[in-house]
Homo-oligomer: A and B are copies of this chain.
């Protein structure tokens, strides 16, 4: 699951508005979908996830937080994106090796001013994301690495423990 601090920064990069249609591709446990659904309270979030077990977790999470505006789509992107309403904002948390095609399709479907936010924890995702959003001429491309360390109590002491770093690639459709 995306850790709280990275999730917060990721959501901020999307600049969600109340009525937004949101795609959360590779939704994992749905932590981004739930928070996006709260922010786009009058909009709709589509959580796309290919792993059956994760789909169950997303449903549990949306039930738990009472977010009625999340639709869970079980399938692999980009195929699973067919037939979804055009998005205003798109998160990519996982791509199953199809990142280039996913970004291509997102680029086609996003309106001008629409925003794409990709999380990368592996170098190859970072590289492909940057190359593809650059080639497709997204604007305001930002690459942000977020590294978080939090303390854990060990006796009476506070020990710093690092989370793994995450790269956030964001951009806006021209």
* Contact between B147 and A143, CB atoms less than 8 A apart: no
Contacts of A124 in B (CB 8 A): 156-158
- Shortest CB-to-CB span from A75 to chain B, Å, is 21
- Stretch among A2-10, A26-34, A65-73, A105-113 lining the B interface: A2-10
* Contact between A149 and B147, CB atoms less than 8 A apart: yes
Bound form: Cα–Cα A12–B147 in Å: 16
Q: Number of A residues contacting the other chain (C-beta, 8 Å)?
A: 34
* Contact between A160 and B121, CB atoms less than 8 A apart: yes
Query: Chain A, 151-170, contact with B by CB distance < 8 Å: what is the 0/1 string?
Result: 10010111111111100000
A146 located at the interface, meaning its Cβ lies under 8 Å from any Cβ of chain B in the complex: yes
With known contacts A8-B12, A162-B162, A143–B154 Cβ distance under 8 A: no
* Contact between B150 and A162, CB atoms less than 8 A apart: no
- Stretch among A41-49, A51-59, A83-91, A125-133 lining the B interface: A125-133
Q: Known contacts A149-B162, A162-B164; can you find 14 more A-B pairs with CB under 8 A?
A: A5-B146, A121-B159, A121-B160, A122-B151, A123-B157, A123-B160, A142-B150, A142-B151, A145-B165, A146-B147, A146-B148, A149-B164, A160-B164, A162-B163
